[in-house]
Homo-oligomer: A and B are copies of this chain.
Amino acid sequence: MIQSVERAVRILQCFEDQDQLGITQIAKKAELTKSTAFGLVSTLVETGLLEQDPGTSQYRLGLELFRLGNRVDADGRQRIISELTVLCETLGETVNYMRPEGSDIVYLVKKETSHSMRICTTIGQRLPMYCTAGGKAIMAYLPEKQREEILQSFRFSAFTENTLVTAEDLRRELVTARTEGCAYDREELELGLTCIAAPILNRFGYPIAAVSCSGPTTRMTPEKLRQCQAALTACAARFRDL
Interface status of A144 (Cβ within 8 A of chain B): no
A73 lies within 8 A of chain B by Cβ:
yes
Bitwise, A1-40 to B at CB < 8 A (1) or not (0) is 1101110110011011001000000000000000000011
**B residues less than 8 Å from A42 (CB atoms):** 1
Residues on B with C-beta less than 8 A from A124 are 66-67, 70-71
Q: Is the CB of A66 within 8 A of B72?
A: yes
Map CB proximity to B onto A42-67 as digits: 1 under 8 Å, 0 otherwise.
11101111010011000011111111
Check A106 for interface membership: any CB of B closer than 8 A: yes
CB-based nearest B residue for A16: B71
Residue contact B16 to A123, C-beta cutoff 8 Å: no
On whether the beta carbons of A4 and B1 are closer than 8 Å, the reply is no
- Report the copy number of this chain in the oligomer: 2
Chain B positions within 8 Å of A8 at CB level = 2, 5, 8
Contact A101 B64 (CB under 8 A): yes
Contact of A123 among B46, B60, B70 (CB under 8 A): B70
A114 within 8 Å of B by Cβ? no
Given contacts A5-B40, A39-B2, A75-B19, contact A61 B68 (CB under 8 A): yes
Q: In the assembly, what is the distance between CA of A202 and CA of B62, in Å? A: 18
> In the bound complex, how far is the Cα of B101 from the Cα of A12, in angstroms?
18
Q: Which of B44, B60, B62, B68 contacts A65 (CB 8 A)?
A: B68
- Shortest CB-to-CB span from A183 to chain B, Å, is 20
In the assembled complex, which residues on chain B have CB atoms less than 8 Å from the CB atom of A9? Answer: 44, 47, 49, 64
Residues of A within 8 A of B (CB): 1-2, 4-6, 8-9, 12-13, 15-16, 19, 39-40, 42-44, 46-49, 51, 54-55, 60-75, 99, 101-102, 106, 108, 123-124, 126, 202, 204, 206
* Given A1-B46, A2-B39, A5-B44, 5 other A-B residues pairs in contact with their CB atoms under 8 A: A9-B47, A61-B71, A65-B72, A67-B124, A67-B126
Query: Can you list 16 residue pairs at the A/B interface with Cβ under 8 Å?
Result: A2-B40, A5-B8, A5-B47, A15-B68, A15-B71, A19-B75, A55-B206, A61-B71, A61-B72, A62-B101, A63-B73, A63-B99, A66-B124, A69-B69, A69-B72, A70-B123
